[in-house]
Amino acid sequence: MSRAVRLGLALALSLAGGAAWAQSKRGEDVAPEQALVLGPDVAQTVGAPLGPPVGPDRLEEETHALASRIRCPVCQGHSIADSPSETARDMKSLVRAMVAAGYVEDQVFVYFEARYGEFIRLLPRAEGFNLLVWVIPLAALLLGIIVVVVFLGRRRPSAVATAVPSEAAAARSRAREAGPAEGSDLDPWLEAVRREVAEEDQRQDG
């Protein structure tokens, strides 16, 4: 084992023990996970903790936040925070011990990815090929909105164009049916309207 690894392991053990010792000195109960001595593979994989030890006031909250994003290798569809399997409980205990010792989020994920692969992330990172997992649903939603807008935009002018000829045809029909009122001053005007309607009909028929 190289000197750097030995130093990192010693520092990790001292921090983990220091957190439990400080908690015990304050008269608080020491959780088994905090008293747990992390195995040498943790320091060999991710080095020394990059953060300070986490006390009991924040330990459970931070542990749950990380555990809810780590996939259970047994249940697969559940996180280790929700899975009832023994493997998930052991993994969550290890997460709690790492958090208590001061290991930060990136280090926790690096450690578990080294053992299980990137599959262990319940939500893939939004980068590289994994970016498609985030982009494709948004692109499909945007495309659907565009299709609906275009479809509705095409239907509206068509409905207006259909209504105008219908109104004109109705007006011509009323003009044909209305005969000239005898002795009315409107006779010349009605005659002119009938001629225009007849000419319009001839042009359309031709």
pLDDT digits (tens, 9 = 90+) for 51-77: 999 999 999 999 999 999 999 999 888
Cα distance between residue 96 and residue 33, in whole Å? 6
Identify the H or E element spanning 59: helix 56-67
- Residue 95: count other Cβ atoms within 10 Å of its Cβ: 24
Domain boundaries, the chain: 3-123, 131-205
pTM over 0.85: no
The rounded distance, in Å, linking the Cα atoms of 200 and 169 is 11
Reported as a single tens digit per residue, the pLDDT across 111-146 is: 999 999 999 998 876 554 444 444 566 666 777 787
Q: Evaluate whether the domain defined by 3-123 bears CATH number 3.90.1150.10.
A: no
